[in-house]
Amino acid sequence: MIHLEDIAESILQGKPLLPLLKDSSENGIFNALSDLGMADIEIQAVLEELLLNAREHGQNKNIMIYMGCHVGWFFAVIRDQGPGIHMTLPKNPRLADTKGKSAAALIRLAVEEGITGTGTVGRGIGLHILSELVSSRRAESLVISDGGLFVQVGDVFLERYARIPTDGTLVAIKVEIQK
Amino acid sequence: MIIDLRDYAGEFCSSRTDPSIPALRQCVRNALLQGDIVQVSRKRIKSITVSFLDEWLGPIIVELGLERVRKEVRFDPPLEPILAKQLERSSRLRTQQPG
């Protein structure tokens, strides 16, 4: 069994275990999911939301999407090379409690509903619906930003330092393929 | 009233800045105010995001209420759980102190 962190680290080390999509757009995600036999509206919606995050918060810099299946599990990774969650989240003027928090704790905060780097009403959706998907399926997610790593397995959360820090943000998901 | 999302937004109803959203919002709002039921067809689109739903229906939910929008705006096929939950989330996030 391949672990999600191994997949994330393989990408950060430049030796990805998953194929890179040539088309990192909504259509690219749709076609890749179809090719993998994963016509799943909820996964499509979550991946598109993460793509929107990468475009906006990652300043549309070098967005890479990786996707593949392995022994009954679907894997996807979206990586951007923007400033990272630790830089965008504290810009929200309504979030007074970001000072002194670790990079992993900031990622944990960003996963909560309505928490966003923009401070705009209604925003802060992408990482939160990823968390909801992981809670509602047999699934895992992993977010690396700066030196922080945040993992969710079902309803269990883990924060720690990343073994391989990254510029920008990397979001990875693993979902059991429904038969 | 029937709205075919493909006619407004194309195959991917994705970004909250999609230029079709103001017209879609106005269309639904007017129909509801006239007492119409709105049937939204998703049959010819490939995807819709929670951001798109929030930007489109969020202001109407605040104005007319969550229950009315749930009852009178009907999707075909129905919204999947993560998407359907966005209507409730839009109501909550738009009526409470944002984070």
**pLDDT tens digits for A116-140?**
665 555 566 889 999 999 999 999 9
Tokens of A178: 């429904």
Q: Is there a contact between B94 and A120 if contact means CB atoms under 8 Å apart?
A: no
The pLDDT tens digits of the residues spanning B26-77 come to 999 999 999 999 999 999 999 999 999 999 999 999 999 999 999 999 999 9
Half-sphere exposure in the Cβ direction for A47 (13 Å, CA): 33
Are the C-beta atoms of residues A72 and A31 closer than 8 Å to each other? no
Q: What are phi and psi of A17, to 5 degrees?
A: -85, -10
Residues 6+ apart with CB under 8 A from B63: B29
In chain B, residues with a C-beta closer than 8 Å to the C-beta of A139 are none
d(CA B90, CA A32) in angstroms, rounded, equals 30
Whether A26 has its CB under 8 Å from any CB of chain B: the answer is yes
**Residue A91 in this model has a pLDDT that exceeds 90:** no
Comparing B6 with A104, the larger pLDDT belongs to B6
Q: How far apart are CA B13 and CA A19, in angstroms?
A: 26
Kindly provide the ipTM of the predicted complex, given to two decimals.
Answer: 0.89
pLDDT exceeds 90 at position A63: yes
Identify the residue whose tokens are 């016509």. Answer: A39
Residues with Cβ within 8 Å of A110's Cβ and at least 6 positions away in sequence, in order, are A85, A89, A116, A117, A124, A127, A143
Alpha-carbon torsion A153, A142, A172, A119, what sign? Answer: positive
Q: How much is the pLDDT for B75?
A: 97
Does the pLDDT at position A147 exceed 80? yes
- Are A79 and A73 in contact by the 8 Å Cβ rule? The answer is no
Chain B contact present for A151, CB below 8 A: no
- At residue B34, the pLDDT reads 97
Query: A32-70 as b/e, with b when 16 or more CB fall inside 10 Å?
Result: bbeebebebbbbbbbbbbbbbbbbbbbeeeebbbbbbee
Buried-state track B19-49, b at ≥16 Cβ within 10 A, e below 16: ebbeebbebbbebbeeeeebebbbeebbbbb
Structure tokens at B88: 């409730």
CB nearest to A119's CB, from B50, B89, B98: B98
pLDDT confidence of residue A62: 86
Candidate from B15, B46, B90 with C-beta closest to A30: B46
For residue A20, the 8-state DSSP code is B
Distance from the A132 Cα atom to the nearest Cα atom in chain B, whole angstroms: 8
Backbone angles phi and psi of A95, in degrees to 5: -100, 100
Residue A116, φ and ψ in degrees, nearest 5: -145, 155
- Which has the closest alpha carbon to A149: A45, A3, A46? A3
